[in-house]
Structure 1
Amino acid sequence: MPSTLADKAPAAVRPSPPPPARTTDRPVGLGRVAAIAGRVVALALIVFFAVGPILWMVLSSIRPADELFQPDPTLVPSTVTGEWYQEVFRGSEAMRWFANSFVVAVVTTVISLVVGTTAGYAVSRFTFPGRRALLAGLSVAYLFPAILLLVPLYLALNSLGLVGGLPGIVIAHVTITLPLTTWLMKSYVEAVPRELEEAAWVDGLGYLRGFLTVTLPLLRTGLATTAMFSFILSWDEFLFASVIGQGDNVTAPVAMAGFVTSFDIRWGAIMALSTLVTVPVVVLFFVLQRYYEKGLTAGSVKG
């Protein structure tokens, strides 16, 4: 019997059933919960040890005298007082100390930025005799404690008649901040593509104008970050300022030692002055926070 067209037609292929949907919601295991809890605890401990002393310092600066030495101290004082701040401003030359610290920190930051930026640009873009020795010297500068530089630096400044004045403190602080500034700016300069400067040279700009008009505007993030580091290092420095600064030319960190005498330790005044010294650093950090966050990674990636 001849086969018909229907017999020759292929049988309809039934579609295979779709695979079961893969669920992504897996039950959270005990190991994952323990890992998350461990991270939370570690972060809480870091915040506690970082913020705890600062919080205690601020609260102690407004705590009455009878609560500073009680056997069972409490975190929050029962009453708030401003006697310690009155003692700092009325019984001392706090405004002069802060003015000295501000002048020294600003001048140190400006000098470190100018010299460190040009030095970082030079060692990044040019090859010259002594380049490796310069880089090695900058790295070795932080291998030894700063106290080893105190005696030779004091003798050098004393021979120049700079001991006892603010210029001597500025020079001492520049010796601390300049190596760090140079290294930081070197990494930021290396992150700027060299082709941009070469294009500026082709257009007729020299090395100096090319640096000022092309490279320097691209370094504003690095400049802000480096300026903050230099300012904080100079603002909080105690060792060099305590030896070189004398008389009316002492900075605020050094002036705190004046509240410690052989008969009494004015803990309330020390806490109040410490709180006031911390305020400019905190304000500077919040002002430059966005530059600081970008600057931490800007110099680590070469363009």
Structure 2
Amino acid sequence: MKSRSRFDVVAHYGAALLLVGFVAFPLAWMAIASVTAAGQLFTSPPRLFPSEFTLDWYRSVWSASEAPRFFMNSLVIALATTVACVIIGILSAYATTRFEFPGKQLFLVGALASYVFPAILLFLPVYLILTGLGLTNTLVGIVVAHIVVSFPFAVWMLRSYLLAIPRELDEAAWVDGASYLRTLISVVLPVCLPGVFSTAIFIFVLSWNEFLFASVIAESSRNKTITVGIAEFITAFDVRWGEIMALGTIATVPVVILFISVQRYFLKGVLEGAVKG
């Protein structure tokens, strides 16, 4: 039995290491390629660790292009989308888990349907609405489009956490004279905080990596995001791999920092949502 248990442990850890390596290897290759000299980027056979390193690609991206603007645009859009989706999502999830009102099921089915279908199906109606409102070629328009795509996910994910919280907590607060909003903020929200963090991380990453809406809504260079900016280094006559690798590495930094900062809450929230939801 002990040998069998040890074999299971080794097998599980081995499978986990293989999975981590499969996911991390492309990222490691991108980071190394971003500091590899031009003459060694396309050596045959390829070398994982080149003999000569350089920061020229980063200097070129940061000083000779609009990468800083792309980076700030993506950061502003992702943060605005995350804050808006979490606030509206937690209010919607609380309403649908605690109260009965006309159109509740229609709202939930509509949110689920808009999340299940590919985002490209929503592109045309969203773009026409933004055009009518005069929000095309603006950061606000991109934020609105990202909220439309991410809001259904926020509602259903936050709803799974709120369903696991006993309604008796709310009723006790109501008996003490707390309003619905005060109950949500002071009683319910602290309990489901890990779930809120998990939802916020997912929405931030979705907005940060989104390409379709940002590439069409941002008509001018000053409103482009970092994912759209990477595509500018691919032309009909040349693919500037060094700059692409450098900008791709820069684009992963905020996501990595975010995960490291709230890793404890993220893991707790994901596990609670998987078990209780």
TM bucket, shorter chain: over 0.9
- 5 Å-filtered alignment, 1:216-295, equals 216-247=189-220, 248-295=222-269
Structure 1 alignment gaps of length 5 or more: 1-25
- 5 Å-filtered alignment, 1:144-163, equals 144-163=117-136
- 5 Å-filtered alignment, 1:121-132, equals 121-132=94-105
- Supply the distance in 1 between the matched residues of 2:166 and 2:55 (Cα, whole angstroms): 55
What TM-score do the two structures reach when normalised by structure 1?
0.86
Q: 1:263 to 1:169 in 2, by over 3 A?
A: same
**1:62-89 residue CA offsets vs partner (Å, 9 max, x unmatched):** 0111111112111111111001001101
Q: 1:199 to 1:268 in 2, by over 3 A?
A: same
Aligned length: 276
Residue 165 of structure 1 aligns with which residue? Answer: 138
- Determine helix, strand or coil for the equivalent of 2:3: coil
Q: Contact 1:259–1:266 at 8 Å: present in 2 too?
A: yes
**1:115-148 residue CA offsets vs partner (Å, 9 max, x unmatched):** 0000000000011111111111122123221111
Residue 3 of structure 2 aligns with which residue? Answer: 28
Superposition deviation, residue 39 in structure 1: 3.7
- Partner letter of residue 100 of structure 1? N
Residue 19 of structure 1 aligns with which residue? Answer: none
Residue 23 of structure 1 aligns with which residue? Answer: none
Q: Contact 1:191–1:300 at 8 Å: present in 2 too?
A: no
- Partner letter of residue 242 of structure 1? S
Q: Contact 1:191–1:301 at 8 Å: present in 2 too?
A: no
Deviates more, 1:185-194 or 1:100-109: 185-194
Structure 2 alignment gaps of length 5 or more: none
- Supply the distance in 2 between the matched residues of 1:102 and 1:133 (Cα, whole angstroms): 34
**1:219-254 residue CA offsets vs partner (Å, 9 max, x unmatched):** 221211111111111111111100111211000110
Select the residue among 156, 168, 172 that pairs with 1:183.
156
- Partner letter of residue 273 of structure 2? G
Residue 91 of structure 2 aligns with which residue? Answer: 118
Q: Calculate the aligned-residue CA RMSD, in Å.
A: 1.9
Residue 26 of structure 2 aligns with which residue? Answer: 53
- Supply the distance in 1 between the matched residues of 2:36 and 2:46 (Cα, whole angstroms): 11
Superposition deviation, residue 301 in structure 1: 5.0
- Supply the distance in 1 between the matched residues of 2:3 and 2:125 (Cα, whole angstroms): 62
- Supply the distance in 2 between the matched residues of 1:91 and 1:246 (Cα, whole angstroms): 21
- Determine helix, strand or coil for the equivalent of 1:117: helix
- Supply the distance in 1 between the matched residues of 2:208 and 2:230 (Cα, whole angstroms): 13
Q: 1:70 to 1:40 in 2, by over 3 A?
A: same
Looking at CA atoms only, which structure, 1 or 2, has the larger radius of gyration? 1
- Supply the distance in 2 between the matched residues of 1:162 and 1:241 (Cα, whole angstroms): 12
1:89 and 2:62 aligned:
yes
- Partner letter of residue 106 of structure 1? L
